[in-house]
Amino acid sequence: MKILVTGAGGQIGTDLLPMLLSRGHDVAVYDLAPRPDWCPAGVEWMRGDISVSAEVFDAVKSAAPDRIFHLAAILSAAGEAVPHRTWHVNLDGTRYVLEAARLFEVQQVFYTSTIAVFGPGLEPPVGDDVPLHPTTMYGVTKVAGELLGEYYESVFGLDFRGVRFPGLINAGIPGGGTSDYALYMFVDGMRDGAYEAFCTPESRIPFMYMPDALRAMIELSEAPKEALTRSIYNIAAMSPTAQEIADAVRERVPGVNLTFKSDPKRQAILDSWPAVLDDSNARRDWGWKHEFDLAAMSDDIVPKIRELIESQGQAEGAHV
């Protein structure tokens, strides 16, 4: 199958591209950044801006994909610094991808939504169908993107589906999200021996290890349409406090100094998100089941980050 991945230069794409290739797909990328060193051979890398409609249309026309994984977005913390641009990239970008999919007869658009669609005051575990009142521009654009995709599905018959990801953790590049403290505890903790988290130790939001997140994308994208009762699904894996994540790092990285200094802006974003998600619709409709809890993830990720630090850490200015 021919698959186009937008924004593949970010946190998810780094791990998604090799997985798609290993499954025998023909993969093309549309990203603002130039082709990075880690990009596997065999991937066609097209440079372009997701917020420029003509460039998006040209890319989709030329790649002629069967399926698009639409990852390009500005995340929550980064987005609050540039809300106008975030609207343009996240929402206009999604509109261009959906319209290009309609024009050039792409079979499916897979959308990466987020826990940031939720706002404060929801009783955990928070299900799929609750009032959505996000407090960040990122969240606002993701709610609107979900609705726009559903519009394209009902009016034009596009196969639109996606997941609301928890904060994602992988041995890779943090993406400007408010959930990045978890990843930095591992990466900075191992590389620098210390990290000061920008939240309180009690902060609790849903997280997921990247291999589970990738598997969710593949499994939902391949699920028979008749089995699905909705377009967008909550998915969950674990909901550790920041303290519990720090303890998991300390157990595996002796001597690491992890401290907390809450940043009011980022803390307010974290506090507005649900502590725990209800993902029973995903479990029932397409058999979603996470594999990694905090302990299993920590055991798996520590050697991978060590390897990454050894391979990249000595390169000048490298920041894994």
Binding site for ligand SER (CB under 6 A): 75-76, 114-116, 138, 165, 167, 177-179
Active-site residue among 96, 138, 152, 195?
Answer: 138
Q: How far is the CB of 170 from ligand SER (least distance, A)?
A: 11
Pick the closer one to ligand SER by CB: 6 or 178.
178
Q: How far is the CB of 291 from ligand SER (least distance, A)?
A: 20
Whether 111 is catalytic: no
Pick the closer one to ligand SER by CB: 65 or 177.
177
Alpha carbon distance 135, 64 (integer Å): 37
Q: How far is the CB of 140 from ligand SER (least distance, A)?
A: 13
- DSSP, collapsed to helix, strand or coil, labels residue 158 as coil
Q: How far is the CB of 109 from ligand SER (least distance, A)?
A: 18
Pick the closer one to ligand SER by CB: 115 or 308.
115
Q: How far is the CB of 263 from ligand SER (least distance, A)?
A: 13
Pick the closer one to ligand SER by CB: 65 or 166.
166
What separation, in Å, do the N-terminal and C-terminal C-alpha atoms of the chain show?
31
Pick the closer one to ligand SER by CB: 39 or 75.
75
Q: How far is the CB of 143 from ligand SER (least distance, A)?
A: 12
CA distance readout (Å), 171 to 198, 243, 254, 296: 20, 20, 19, 14
What is the token pair recorded at 119? 């706002």
Task: Work out the widest C-alpha separation in the chain, in whole angstroms.
Answer: 58
What is the token pair recorded at 60? 């989709």
Tell me the Cα Rg of the chain.
19
Q: Could you tell me whether strands 108-114 and 67-70 are parallel, antiparallel, or unpaired per DSSP bridges?
A: parallel
Pick the closer one to ligand SER by CB: 76 or 106.
76
Residue nearest to ligand SER (CB): 177
Enzyme catalytic residues: 138
